[in-house]
């Protein structure tokens, strides 16, 4: 199954969960309320997410005088994309991300730690990955997923309180079971978190593939991912966990194993490296 088809199915499943918990909480009115939450939160995320994340990390815009700008400019020209704004984050932790609602309003950022740790070809591989996110509009896709997930969380909390105080479905003749409502309100957010993480992993794989093609080889990006993982283990990047999916590597030390891997926003680095090496002609 292609990455876009998988993402579409996962987003549709998130929407179905949102409708399910909305209906369980308040019938048809609950579904309308759920979509209302999603629309408002999507609007905020669509227009302001880039400014928020850049400000949160103290990112400073750089111009043509900075080597990172030249690397990004070359990739943008090669990919036939508008030149994004380029930012530098003063942190020793190696990482990078892309943000913006569409290619015409995109921004890419890298930490000082990443620029100090990697060679030029590896930096180019990382930024090619980020430019692929821009081309694929992955930031918007993941913002929609995060918004749906947040709406589910909000409704789940409301549903739990409503069930405890005798609320629930009010427009169906059979009413609603408070026990069933509480069970739904507890399971739905868990399912939403798993689906959000799966969407993030799918988009990371797609960006790896596209980045390797844009850079002309998967080897530099594969080497960069190994170094970034080791660097993050030594020096994690302080950030909001809700922002973890934006980065090329989860910015926290350690990663989920076994069942916990279902909640991971990034695929295992070893798997990513293996895929990238397989894309490189021998």
User: What residues are labeled active site?
Assistant: 130
For 87, list phi and psi in degrees, rounded to 5: -130, 155
């Amino acid at each position: 199954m292609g990455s876009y088809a998988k993402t579409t199915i996962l987003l549709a499943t998130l929407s179905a969960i949102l409708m399910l918990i909305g209906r369980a909480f308040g019938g048809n009115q609950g579904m309308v309320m759920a979509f209302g939450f999603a629309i408002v939160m999507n609007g905020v995320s669509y227009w302001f997410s880039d400014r928020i994340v850049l400000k949160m990390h103290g990112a400073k815009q750089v111009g043509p005088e900075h080597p990172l700008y030249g690397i990004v400019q070359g990739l943008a020209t090669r990919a036939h994309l508008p030149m994004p704004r380029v930012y530098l984050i003063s942190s020793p932790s190696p990482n990078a991300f892309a943000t913006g609602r569409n290619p015409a309003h995109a921004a890419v950022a890298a930490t000082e730690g990443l620029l100090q740790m990697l060679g030029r070809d590896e930096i180019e591989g990382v930024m090619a990955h980020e430019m692929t996110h821009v081309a694929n509009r992955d930031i918007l896709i993941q913002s929609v997923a995060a918004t749906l997930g947040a709406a589910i969380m909000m409704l789940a909390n409301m549903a739990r309180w409503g069930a405890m105080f005798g609320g629930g479905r009010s427009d169906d003749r059979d009413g609603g079971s408070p026990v069933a409502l509480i069970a739904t309100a507890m399971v739905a957010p868990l399912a939403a978190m798993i689906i959000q993480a799966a969407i993030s992993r799918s988009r990371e794989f797609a960006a790896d593939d596209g980045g390797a093609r844009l850079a002309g080889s998967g080897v530099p990006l594969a080497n960069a991912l190994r170094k970034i993982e080791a660097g993050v283990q030594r020096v994690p990047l302080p950030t909001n966990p809700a922002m973890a999916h934006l980065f090329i590597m989860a910015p926290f030390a350690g990663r989920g194993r076994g069942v916990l891997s279902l909640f991971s926003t990034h695929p295992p680095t070893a798997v990513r490296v293996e895929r990238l090496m397989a894309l490189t002609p021998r």
